[in-house]
Amino acid sequence: MKLASLLESKRSKKLAGFLIKRRKPLGILLYLCGLVYLGMLPRDEFNRRSFVDENALMVGLVRREFRDSQSISDYAEELADFGVDQEGLMVWLEASFSRIGLEVYSQNYSAVLPAVAGPQAASVSGRSVYGVLRAGRASSAESLVFSAPSGEAANTHGLAVMLSLAKYFKSKNYWAKDIIFLVTTGGEIGVQAWINSYMGNAVKGINAGPLPGRSGAIQAVINLEIDSPKIEYARIMIEGVNGILPNLDLVHVLTHLSEMEGIPSALHMGWEGVRSHGRYSKPDLSDSAHKLYTVASLMAHQAPGLPLAGHAPFLRHRIDSVTVRGVGSGPTAKPLLNLARYLAVLLAEKTCIFSVSSAFCLPPGPWRVVFEASTISWRDSTIQSSSTMPRLAGDSSPSGCSCLPSASYWLHSCWRAYLSGCWQEDSEWQLLSAQEVVTPVNSR
Amino acid sequence: MAARRWDWVQLLTAVFLHLTLPCMCQGRAEQSYSEALFMKFLADGRVSATFDFSTVWSVHPLLFSNPGNVQHYGIFPKSLAEVVAHYHVQELHLTLTQGQWRTRVWGYPAHPAPPGAELWAWFLPEADSEKEWPGLVDAMSGLLGAHLNAIDSASSFQPLVSFRPNGAILSKDMSNSSALLRYAALPRETVCTENFTPWTKLLPCGTAAGLGELFEAESLYDCDYHSLGLHFTPHCLDDGCGQVGVRLSLTLTVVFPPPVTSNPSILEWSLKSLFHRPLTSACPLAFSSTVTVETNSIDGVQVSLSQTPSLTGTVEVAGRRRDRAVFDLHSLTNSTTSKPLPPLSVSSSSWAYHIMPEQPELLVSRHLVGSGHDWGGLATEITNSAPHTVEVLYLEMVPWFFRLYLHTLSVSQATVLSQHYVPAKDRRRAHMLELRLSLPPLSTSYLSLQFRRAHLKWTEHKPDAHHGFYINSAVITTVLSECPNCTSLAAQDQDLAVLRLYSEPLLVSLPTPDFSMPYNVICFVCTVIAIAFGSVFNLTTRTLQPAAAAKEKLLTRILRRIGVLSKQKSD
């Protein structure tokens, strides 16, 4: 009875009338409030620190042993001689790969680019070279790809880092998955041609040649783009085709490792960094404005769905991939050895475990996570048999290294462990048009 | 008196022994054991070592079934003999392998095996294979410490033509039907020293003497390929196969990484550098204990030995000359002095890395096509580099939850001569496709087949569900008239004519459910019930009535009359 009386009271009638009369300005006001709230999300009070969800991925547990900076500079010197001679570079790369001891293959491709600004259609053709490092005692069921593009933008040092890491990896015997070292030409077209041929998909307009050698299912891809011998920042580019993001654990592990080596990482550079690849403004990574800018540019890059860098075509096939781009060569730049070292650690970890963590987010920076659906991994792995409890929003568990059992135990068991897949399948993820609003579909 | 009784006991014992000892000796005399190690350089500089421990016993396989028939096992491992006898097994093959044999570069292996575990068996003609197979699987998994229990009816197959009996055939009926054959493979199975130790226990000399002395787990497992094999077959004891016995062949194949030295163009290995253990003796139970090194020059690179072998010779193996150097351990070791053998080292000079190896005639490679969690495809490439037509048998085994669509099978270049397809039954039986193909000379044939991924119930997912599920290696079986790329021991094995190739196993991911959902559902439902149910129940079932005025107390009424309390009654 009280309820009924409330509805009929004069006050409520007045309130309802007011709301109905002022519905338009009220709507606009609420919409603006929503935008303001969105803009406030990057602030630290509204999000949580990033963390590595996968329990078995213990960041920093792998010994950082790579010390061969001499080979990076040697390779960089040899590569600098090539300049624009792509074919000569490919031939030299084939020889280098086979000297290291990898199985070397190459793929030809050609593509007809649709006419963009004129009646003539441009056609590109090129050759990609890749070397496969076969893991001992493994059945080649899974593989990782370490890719470095070569083309108009000089990627001399990226190739040098890749080659020296290849030599280092060949000497280790704990790999559980094959590693494919891929050098593509022609930007994303070359990568698209390679992955199409690998997956057996055909795309209209790209004529991809057959792949003479293969490994198993690709689990993760790291793409390197570095053009200077010392870098200040590592820009980790995560957006892919159609706005698909890789598994966040990959990004967070990279961030943590990068920080351990003294190279700060960012998802986007400062304002001026948008204009040209070379010029950048040092991003003040703790600045709120920069975080807001990062969120905005993430949204701006995801919405059109265009590929951002060489890792993007892999994401379409649900293979987690990121591009690491070295930025800056100011006075505080660190040598590439550090980058190479943590990439070695990353691949060593990747060879064993991957996670089932959340995939969708708009991170204001590599150290914070917004919109992150609570992540649960309920698995019974060969290393750990604990199931993590669901995390409620607001749980401020710190990220970083956890208690570490001995590295030797981890290394011994790491070749036995497996790489779990990505976030769970949902076909809505893959069809994103610019009009669809991207929302977290699975909150688990 | 006691002394005399003791004398009687001694006399009786002596008589008893004299009567029975010849029988026991005769049992052992009918067994012969030989061990061999065969080493060679592979085309990319790696070194392959193949151990073969083979026991031949002249007991007829059919006599095994009756436990009373065999009383003295001698050097034949009793545990295995009892398993074979109990489950009426005629032929048994088990391999536990780590790694994929790279046929393109290494040639054909002496004992082909797919990665993981593979078990196949022919049962005796009167046995009920349906009943015996699960028991045999359990017994073998216990014998070698492997997790073969994962083999169930959904992963067992009966190939029609691809796996015929090796060794002697006991009855004509067996050649026609495959009802007595069972095959299963587990690509997911890992192999480690827990399997290796029970395997060494089956050896007559174990790791105490003979070639078993070389076994050290750390060096054997720090390699590029490792395969344990156990092969039990009926064996013809003479040429006309008038007398049939059994043969147990325990094999170990290891491929070591290239033994580089400080000089990059010289590769050098020795038994000590590869195995890290000295070889000091031959097994006294073996009538032949040899180390054979193949000294063929590979593409002009010479191979030289540091020690003079007991015997060198050129053997004609499947149409190609092989230079073999044989070291007879019996003559090299002297048991009284027990000195370690002089070290054997082999070096190859002016080794240029990555000599392009001559491609073997037959190659098979298989990969997955398509991404996403709905459709997928298998694509196989079979390359025939021989200048003549080759007929092969192709066997494909796919779990039931990858639903094959046979109408999508497309074969290019090769001709399908016949096809045998067994469709799957959910959770009972897997798909099996057997094709007889004729491959044209100097061609590459492509087979492709599409499948659809099914949803499994959430309890059917294995631990680490996001890893995916394996599809068994495809098997290509053929008979080659000429086999220059065969790695084989002396012409003792009858299997030489049959060539078996295994493709790579495939790892396919299935759509996995969100395993946290049962927890979420329980939490949510319990919360709803705890919080909302009570209130909603009250609201919906309680009827409200105006409360009747309660009679006031006498004191209150009096006070009201006087005027202390207010005149109005409270609600």
Nearest to B444, CA basis, from A180, A139, A210, A107:
A210
Q: Return left, alpha or beta for A48; rule: phi > 0 is left, psi -120 to 50 is alpha, else beta.
A: beta
Q: What is the pLDDT of residue B429?
A: 94
**Quick one: tokens of A381?**
């792995």
Residue with tokens 């606009």: A28
d(CA B220, CA B179): 38
Closest residue in chain B to residue A100, using alpha carbons only = B353
Compute, in degrees rounded to 10, the torsion defined by CA atoms A284, A285, A291, A297.
80
Interface of B with A in 359-378 (CB under 8 A): 365, 367-373, 377
Q: Which residues on chain B are in Cβ contact (under 8 Å) with A378?
A: 515-516, 519
Q: What is the pLDDT of residue B279?
A: 85
Closest residue in chain A to residue B471, using alpha carbons only = A141
Cβ neighbours of A347 (radius 10 Å): 19
**Under 8 Å CB-to-CB from B526, ≥6 apart: which residues?**
none
Closest residue in chain A to residue B461, using alpha carbons only = A379
Work out the end-to-end distance of chain B between its first and last CA atoms, rounded to an integer number of angstroms.
120
Q: What is the pLDDT of residue A438?
A: 33
Nearest to B464 among A379, A425, A444 (CB): A379
Query: Half-sphere exposure of residue A140, counting CA atoms within 13 Å on the CB side?
Result: 22
Closest residue in chain A to residue B257, using alpha carbons only = A136
Nearest to B467 among A390, A416, A420 (CB): A420
**Quick one: tokens of B61?**
């396989």
Q: What is the pLDDT of residue A363?
A: 57
Helix, strand or coil, per DSSP, at residue B174 = helix
User: Contact A424/B544, CB-based, under 8 Å?
Assistant: no
Q: Which residues on chain A are in Cβ contact (under 8 Å) with B504?
A: 139-141, 216
Residue with tokens 């575990």: B117
Residues A444/A378, Cβ–Cβ less than 8 Å: no
Q: What is the pLDDT of residue B200?
A: 94
Q: What is the pLDDT of residue B349?
A: 64
Measure in Å the smallest separation between the Cα of B489 and chain A Cα atoms: 24
| pLDDT means over runs of 10, chain A (444 residues) | 62 87 91 88 75 70 78 88 84 91 91 63 85 90 91 83 90 87 90 92 84 90 87 85 83 81 76 47 65 82 84 88 80 67 70 47 55 27 23 25 27 30 26 29 34
Measure in Å the smallest separation between the Cα of A215 and chain B Cα atoms: 8
Cross-strand partners of B298: B301
Residue type, B395: L
Residues B379/B471, Cβ–Cβ less than 8 Å: no
Residues B283/B92, Cβ–Cβ less than 8 Å: no
Measure in Å the smallest separation between the Cα of A84 and chain B Cα atoms: 29
Taking each helix axis from N to C terminus, what angle separates B129-144 and B78-86, rounded to the nearest 10 degrees? 160
Domain ranges in chain B are 29-346, 362-508
Largest pairwise CA distance in chain B: 137
Phi, psi of B135 (to 5 degrees): -65, -40
Q: What is the pLDDT of residue B228?
A: 95
Nearest to B122, CA basis, from B252, B226, B246, B250:
B246
Largest pairwise CA distance in chain A: 89
**Quick one: tokens of B380?**
């196989």
Residues B470/B366, Cβ–Cβ less than 8 Å: no
d(CA B421, CA A416): 35
Cβ neighbours of B53 (radius 10 Å): 26
Query: Half-sphere exposure of residue B102, counting CA atoms within 13 Å on the CB side?
Result: 23
Q: Which residue has the higher pLDDT, B441 or B344?
A: B441
3-state DSSP percent of chain A in helix, strand and coil, to 5: 35, 15, 45
| B126, pLDDT greater than 70 | yes
Residue with tokens 């009567």: B19
Contact of B506 with chain A, judged by CB distance below 8 Å, is answered with yes
Q: What ipTM did this prediction achieve?
A: 0.82
**Quick one: tokens of A187?**
């930007």
Mean pLDDT of B55-74: 82
DSSP structure string for A357-419: -------SBTTEESSPPP-------SS----PPPPPTT-----S------HHHHHHHHTTS--
Interface of B with A in 248-267 (CB under 8 A): 257
Cβ neighbours of A404 (radius 10 Å): 12
Specify whether domain B362-508 bears CATH 2.40.100.10.
no
User: Contact B365/A214, CB-based, under 8 Å?
Assistant: yes
Interface of A with B (CB under 8 A): 1, 98-99, 101, 134, 136-142, 173, 199-201, 214, 216-217, 317-318, 354, 356, 376, 378-382, 390, 416, 418-422, 424-425, 430, 442, 444
| B489, pLDDT greater than 70 | no
Q: Which residues on chain A are in Cβ contact (under 8 Å) with B508?
A: 217
Nearest to A173 among B102, B222, B466 (CB): B222
Gyration radius (Cα) of chain B, Å: 35
Contact of B509 with chain A, judged by CB distance below 8 Å, is answered with yes
Cβ neighbours of B560 (radius 10 Å): 15
User: Contact A382/B464, CB-based, under 8 Å?
Assistant: yes
User: Contact B379/A200, CB-based, under 8 Å?
Assistant: yes
pLDDT one-digit tens code per residue, B510-547: 888 888 888 999 999 999 898 888 888 888 898 878 87
Report the percent of chain B where pLDDT is more than 90: 44
Cross-strand partners of B305: B346
User: Contact B507/A142, CB-based, under 8 Å?
Assistant: yes
Report H helices in B59-192.
78-86, 103-106, 129-144
Compute, in degrees rounded to 10, the torsion defined by CA atoms A133, A137, A138, A143.
-20
**Quick one: tokens of B327?**
């070291």
**Under 8 Å CB-to-CB from A296, ≥6 apart: which residues?**
none
**DSSP one-letter code for B511:** P
Report H helices in B35-157.
78-86, 103-106, 129-144
Q: What is the pLDDT of residue B350?
A: 59
Nearest to B33, CA basis, from B238, B284, B273:
B284
Residues in chain B: 571
- Say what the pTM is: 0.80
* Listed range (B178-192, B199-213, B536-550) with the worst mean pLDDT: B536-550
Q: Which residues on chain B are in Cβ contact (under 8 Å) with A354?
A: 466
**Under 8 Å CB-to-CB from B76, ≥6 apart: which residues?**
B31, B55, B57, B248
3-state DSSP percent of chain B in helix, strand and coil, to 5: 25, 35, 40
Query: Which contiguous run of DSSP H or E holds residue B22?
Result: helix B2-29
Measure in Å the smallest separation between the Cα of A198 and chain B Cα atoms: 8
Angle at A326 between CA A321 and CA A330, to 5 degrees: 165
Measure in Å the smallest separation between the Cα of B244 and chain A Cα atoms: 38
**DSSP one-letter code for A317:** T
d(CA A73, CA A148): 17
**Quick one: tokens of A241?**
């085709």
Q: What is the pLDDT of residue B566?
A: 64
Work out the end-to-end distance of chain A between its first and last CA atoms, rounded to an integer number of angstroms.
41
Q: Which residues on chain B are in Cβ contact (under 8 Å) with A422?
A: 466
Nearest to A156, CA basis, from A80, A93, A95:
A80
Mutate to test the interface with A, among B97, B218, B226, B354 (most CBs of A within 10 A): B354
pLDDT one-digit tens code per residue, B337-358: 444 555 666 776 656 555 566 7
Residues B283/B291, Cβ–Cβ less than 8 Å: no
Q: Which residues on chain A are in Cβ contact (under 8 Å) with B468?
A: 217, 421
Contact of B544 with chain A, judged by CB distance below 8 Å, is answered with yes
**DSSP one-letter code for A173:** -
Contact of B100 with chain A, judged by CB distance below 8 Å, is answered with yes
User: Contact A424/B513, CB-based, under 8 Å?
Assistant: yes
Burial class (CB in 10 A: 0-12, 13-18, 19+), B379: middle
Residue type, B247: R
B485 pLDDT tier (thresholds 50, 70, 90): low
User: Contact A420/B368, CB-based, under 8 Å?
Assistant: no
DSSP structure string for A125-153: EEEEEEEEEPPTT--S-EEEEEEEE-SSS
DSSP structure string for B322-333: EEEEEEEHHHH-
Query: Which contiguous run of DSSP H or E holds residue B302?
Result: none
Cross-strand partners of B44: none
Residues A181/A146, Cβ–Cβ less than 8 Å: yes
Q: Which residues on chain A are in Cβ contact (under 8 Å) with B506?
A: 141, 216-217
d(CA A206, CA B296): 47
Gyration radius (Cα) of chain A, Å: 24
d(CA A394, CA B112): 57
Nearest to A141 among B371, B505, B516 (CB): B505
d(CA B113, CA A375): 41
pLDDT one-digit tens code per residue, B410-438: 999 999 999 999 999 999 999 999 999 99
